[in-house]
C-alpha cells in the first residue's frame, strides 16, 4: 500500500500528515475521538484554551491506555476469566436460540 497525505483538524487546528493508506481509517477515527473528547471537556469545564483542553484529553486517553494495558499484561488470569464468562454467555445464547 502507499502513503497518503492528509490534512486533519484537531481542536480547530489543521495539521498536514502523511500516513500509510492502511492507517487512514484508524487516523480518522482517532481524530473523531480526540475532537469529541475536547468538545466534552469544553462543555464540562470553563476552560476555553484549546491547548489546555488538548492536554486534559491527552491525559485521559493516556490513563485509559495505561489502565487497559495493565489489565491485559498484569492480570492475564483476569482476562481469561472474562473471556470464559463471555464464552459461557455465548454458549447459553446459542443453546437458547437452537431450542427456539
Alpha helices in 1-100 (DSSP H): 24-44, 50-74, 76-99
CB-CB contact of 27 with 8 (8 Å)? yes
What pLDDT, in 10s, does the model give residues 4-53? 999 999 999 999 999 999 999 999 999 999 999 999 999 999 888 999 99
pTM comes to: 0.68
C-alpha cell at position 21 = 493508506
Domain boundaries, the chain: 3-75
Q: What is the pLDDT of residue 41?
A: 93
> For the segment 53-66, what is each residue's pLDDT rounded down to a tens digit?
999 999 999 999 98
69 pLDDT band, cuts 50/70/90, is confident
Look at the alpha carbons of 85, 88, 94, 100 in this order and tell me if their dihedral is positive or negative: negative
Amino acid at each position: 500500500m502507499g502513503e497518503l497525505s492528509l490534512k486533519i483538524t484537531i481542536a480547530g487546528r489543521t495539521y498536514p500528515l502523511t500516513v500509510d493508506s492502511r492507517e487512514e481509517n484508524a487516523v480518522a477515527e482517532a481524530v473523531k475521538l480526540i475532537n469529541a473528547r475536547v468538545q466534552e471537556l469544553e462543555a464540562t469545564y470553563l476552560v476555553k484554551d484549546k491547548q489546555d483542553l488538548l492536554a486534559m484529553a491527552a491525559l485521559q486517553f493516556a490513563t485509559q491506555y495505561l489502565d487497559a494495558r495493565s489489565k491485559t499484561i498484569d492480570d492475564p488470569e483476569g482476562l481469561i476469566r472474562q473471556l470464559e464468562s463471555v464464552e459461557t454467555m455465548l454458549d447459553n445464547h446459542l443453546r437458547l436460540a437452537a431450542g427456539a
